[in-house]
Chains A and B, each alone.
Chain A
Amino acid sequence: MSAPPLSLDRFSALAEAYGADINRWPPTDRAAAQELAQQSPMARAYLAQADGLDAMLDLSRVAAPSAELRHRILAQAPRPRAASARAKLLRWLSGLGAIGILTCGAVAGAAVIAVSAPHLDADSVAGLYDQANGLDTGGA
């Protein structure tokens, strides 16, 4: 499907305003402009005239931003968001929970040991002591 035709007057006005690069013209006019540029020597002359001015404008150069400016701008930039008070409280509570769990575990472990350990009275302890020292306490 070919684009609706563009008059030479309109083509000239577009080149005058937007320059020689048809890709920078309003999107709705580009296809018709390309067609006309292929067919019409006059249209190509308008483009050449616009191109001369584009080339002169391109002679204007500006210095790149300095590294110092870049650093100044970066120094003012937002930092990663600090944790909110609520998040800090939650983190503190979860720490407290871990300590609580560990404490409960230790207490429970001690209780189990206390209950399951064999009961030793004074005589048994003395017997164990004598055995260890090679003494016969069995009598004979």
Chain B
Amino acid sequence: MNGRGGAREDPDDTLLRRVALGDQAAVQALVARKLPRVCALATRMLGDATEAEDVAQEAFLRVWRQAPKWRFGEAKFDTWLHRVTLNLCYDRLRRRRERAVAEPPEQIDPALGADVELEMMQTSNQVQAALAELPSRQRDAILLHHYQDLSNIDAATALGVSVDALESLLARGRRALRARLQGLPS
């Protein structure tokens, strides 16, 4: 946790306080609010749904451990959770590189028999592949800002860079994506 941002209002504070007391309704609400976001980020970073689920489980284990010790008024919980998820994904990507696995990451099987569904899945995979080819910092900036809907300040905080640096990463990443995705039906 860092102290950037001072005593900013954090929409997750109340829920986190209740989670720290073991309030089961709050636990369920926090999982409902954050799990889809954590899973989406991990899936897009890793390109593998099973690994993404492992990352999500580990990220929440850290949330449960951290909740009673959380220093309210310092870091924003959502930004911290994104930072944790990014780090868990970086660990896996590093291990993957070390193993030098030749085969591409597993993709989710499309539902059989539905042509439209199949086409959408293929398009989705093309976008996912284009994202995966970006330099990692550019990809992460786009994931955090476009898909995770973080503000420029929160995305920069999660990546540990300045807002200007984030803007530069986003612009370069989007230019590269535009070149790669030309011809894709939008």
Contact = CB atoms under 8 A, between A and B. Distances in A.
A56 B168 CA distance: 20
Interface string A2-36: 00000000000100111100001110000000000
Interface in A26-58: 26, 50, 52-57
B171 A17 contact: yes
Given A26-B163, A56-B186, A70-B35, A77 B27 contact: yes
Contacts of A80: 21-24
Which 4 pairs, one residue from A and one from B, show the smallest C-beta to C-beta distance?
A: A60-B127, A80-B22, A17-B170, A55-B186
Contacts, number: 117
Interface residues of A, number: 34
Interface secondary structure of B, over-half rule: helix
Interface of B: 19-24, 27-28, 31, 35-36, 39-40, 43-44, 49, 53, 56-57, 60-61, 64, 67-68, 108, 120-121, 123-124, 127-128, 131, 142, 145-147, 149, 151-152, 163, 167-168, 170-171, 174-175, 177-178, 181, 184, 186
Contact of B22 (A55, A65, A79): A79
Contact of B127 (A59, A63, A65, A66): A59
A57 B127 contact: yes
Contacts of A60: 44, 124, 127-128, 131, 147
B152 A18 contact: yes
